[in-house]
Amino acid sequence: MAELGPRALGPAYSLDDAPFEAVEAQVADYWALLKPRVMSLVIFTAFVGLMAAPAPVHPVVAIASLLCVAVGAGASGALNMWWDADIDRHMDRTKDRPVPSGRVAAEEALGIGIALSLLSVGFLFLFANALAAFLLALTIFYYLVIYSMWLKRRTPLNIVIGGAAGAFPPLIGWAVATGGVAVEPLVLFAIIFLWTPPHSWALALARRADYARVGVPMLPVVSGDQETRRQIWLYALALAAAAAAPFATELAGPAYLLVAPLMTWRMLAASRRLAARTAEEAVADKFRAEWRYFGLSIAYLFALFSAILVDVWARPLTMALIGG
Amino acid sequence: MSGADNHELHRRRRGRNLAVGGVLLALVALMFAVTIVKLSQGPASPF
């Protein structure tokens, strides 16, 4: 196994720390390399951005474009696994991933990541337009270079700034349909951008020892448990404000009016409870509330975007009912 | 390498080859479908 090169900012781990077991990879390993769970969120948010746009897209072009976005997200996952293989091997959460476990060689992950990046961006240019392709390329670059290579091992703001990578998909979806960018997809961008830190910090609270072991300066490692809980609460407040922004645009309709306040209230209440907990309480119940918060935050984002989707689809009916 | 290992190796490679073949076929079908749609919509600039 060849070295990946020096990590200027990371802990002094080498891929030679432990011998890899030579195993022939299965299809499932290559699938896992693409981080399918992250990919599903990317596809969904890009789909909402595409459907919310005022310009209709032929279903075949829409499916082909969303596939490109999915493959681009998968490429980012493979490149991230290539770069982070040295620390992933020492973290309980990630040690079973295809590269750190040795089922897929790091160089192979790199090759797959580059190939899929080029293919996804190139095909999106052909299927949709230059702006959508550029935004997809920017997303891959941002996730690999800005987040993984630059910020992740350097600053506790890693997830705050790096979180933008996960917020781009609605912009891509909108760009596929319109060839441009407008305030509506920027509102969707803001929601995901402000959602990412509290979502990730809940996980980091529960996995603090993992991050500390490999020297990744997540907020709980650098600033401690209590400060992280306070920041989760503050970001939840900012997220609540962002979640109200669709009401000022064409995005929100009756479904959003029904779902957003209710779910935002739940999210705020859970954030407040999390902020009021002590590290001792969390350890005593094995971070039960933190894991629940992590799950709730996913459900929250899904609920907001689903409500927008319902409103978009029901818009003709809504307009007919209110006589617009 | 024992016969059993060899069999397992071939089984895994066969699975991978079938998956790659399936992806390539799907890609060809997708390209074909998008081409038909684009042609039916008339010429358009991607810029």
A36-52 vs A169-178: helix crossing angle, rounded to 10: 40
Interface of A with B in 2-41 (CB under 8 A): 24-27, 30
Pick the residue with more confidence: A242 or A27?
A: A242
A chain contacts of residue B19, beta-carbon cutoff 8 Å: 27, 30
Whether residue A24 and residue B41 make contact (CB cut-off 8 A), yes or no, is no
Interface of A with B in 99-158 (CB under 8 A): 125-130
The count of CB pairs under 8 A between chains A and B is 37
Judge whether A89 and A18 are in contact, CB under 8 Å. Answer: yes
Structure tokens at A212: 């500390």
Question: How far is the C-alpha of B32 from the C-alpha of B36, rounded, in Å?
Answer: 6
Tens-place pLDDT, residues A114-168: 999 999 999 999 999 999 999 999 999 999 999 999 999 999 999 999 999 999 9
pTM exceeds cut of 0.90: no
- Per-residue model confidence (pLDDT) at position B14: 86
- Per-residue model confidence (pLDDT) at position A24: 74
Give, in order, the Cα–Cα distances in Å from A152 to each of A39, A95, A100: 20, 18, 18
Question: How far is the C-alpha of A320 from the C-alpha of A323, rounded, in Å?
Answer: 5
What is the sign, positive or negative, of the torsion defined by CA atoms of A45, A313, A240, A177? positive
Tens-place pLDDT, residues A73-113: 999 999 999 999 999 999 999 999 999 999 999 999 999 99
Of B9, B12, B34, which is closest to A64 when you measure between CB atoms?
B34
Judge whether A75 and A139 are in contact, CB under 8 Å. Answer: no
Of B9, B41, B46, which is closest to A130 when you measure between CB atoms?
B46
For residue B2, what pLDDT band results from cuts at 50, 70 and 90?
low
Q: Quick one: closest CA in B to A26, which residue?
A: B12
Tens-place pLDDT, residues B9-20: 787 788 889 999
The residue-averaged pLDDT of A46-62 equals 96
- Cα-to-chain-centroid distance, residue A84: 16
Of A26, A27, A129, which is closest to B46 when you measure between CB atoms?
A129
For residue A247, the SS3 value is helix
